Amino acid sequence: MITAAFANQIINLFAAVMLLLAFAMLAQRRVLSLIDLFAMQGLVLTLSTGFVAYTTGQTHLWFSAGITFALKVVLLPWILYRLIRQLDVKWDVEGLINIPTTMLIGIVLVILSFNVALPISQIAGTITKGTLGIALASVLLAFLMMITRSKAVPQVIGFLAMENGLFFAATAATYGMPMVVELGIALDVLVGVVILGVFFFQIRERFDSLDIRHLEKLKEE
């Protein structure tokens, strides 16, 4: 039988790995490596959700873990790899801010997240309440990655990583969302990635590049 103290340690370990992967994605320059880190984050999220399901007896979390694994560890990375191959892009990610400055901003966001999440954690009744600050930090770090990248593909990966953080926050605060909501979100994310894939090809055909700064030219036409 797993004790509550041991369960908290394991959950905190998963949360710490999630945060480290968020920082790794923030500092990563290679697109293929960024996809690998996203898949690893999805795997950690799957294991964390499965462990919470086993510890608390929340049956619906097993289905959530299965959906997370299928979508974020297998399907979405496969789609992103296919897009990279078809677009023939394996370039380094260009950041609008240099890495040291970005990492410092990330540290500030983590501190802010813990302070914001502290009052909520104190009133939450779940064994995962201590990870709420890390979940919020993961969301903000993914958002930071989105706004500091000039290429379209890394921005989409940042959006998907932000959704990972939101799912982790939902698990930390309330043992996840209703299954209907999770299925709807999964479908929306999948459809969104497909639409963005078409958008990538349109940008590439129009500007011969995936740098979103080229879209500013449309304002002049």
63 class by beta-carbon count within 10 Å (0-12 exposed, 13-18 middle, 19+ buried): middle
Per the listing, tokens 């500092």 go with 27
Cα 93 from Cα 149, distance rounded (Å): 7
The token duo for 115 is 């302070």
- Low-confidence stretches of the chain (pLDDT beneath 70): 1-2, 4, 87-95, 121-130, 172-221
What does the pLDDT read at residue 157? 84
pLDDT at res. 218: 44
- pLDDT value of residue 167: 82
- Distance separating alpha carbons of residues 21 and 44, to the nearest angstrom: 9
Q: For residue 216, what is the DSSP state?
A: G
Q: Are 135 and 15 in contact (CB under 8 A)?
A: yes
The residues that bridge with 95 in the sheet, in sequence order, are 149
Given this model, what pLDDT does residue 190 score?
61
Residue 127, pLDDT score: 59
**pLDDT at 219 (0 to 100):** 45
Residue 36 exposed, middle or buried by CB count within 10 Å (0-12, 13-18, 19+): middle
Distance separating alpha carbons of residues 46 and 60, to the nearest angstrom: 13
CA dihedral for 20, 22, 23, 27, sign (positive or negative) = positive
Q: Would you state the torsion angle of the CA atoms of residues 156, 159, 163, 168, taken in this order, to the nearest 10 degrees?
A: 110
Task: Tell me if residue 189 falls in helix, strand or coil.
Answer: helix
Cβ atoms of 32 and 97 within 8 Å: the answer is no
pLDDT of residue 63: 83
Separation between Cα atoms, residue 209 and residue 20, nearest integer Å: 31
Q: How many C-alpha atoms does 99 have within 13 Å on its Cβ side?
A: 9
The vertex-40 CA angle with 46 and 130, nearest 5°, equals 55
Question: pTM value?
Answer: 0.79
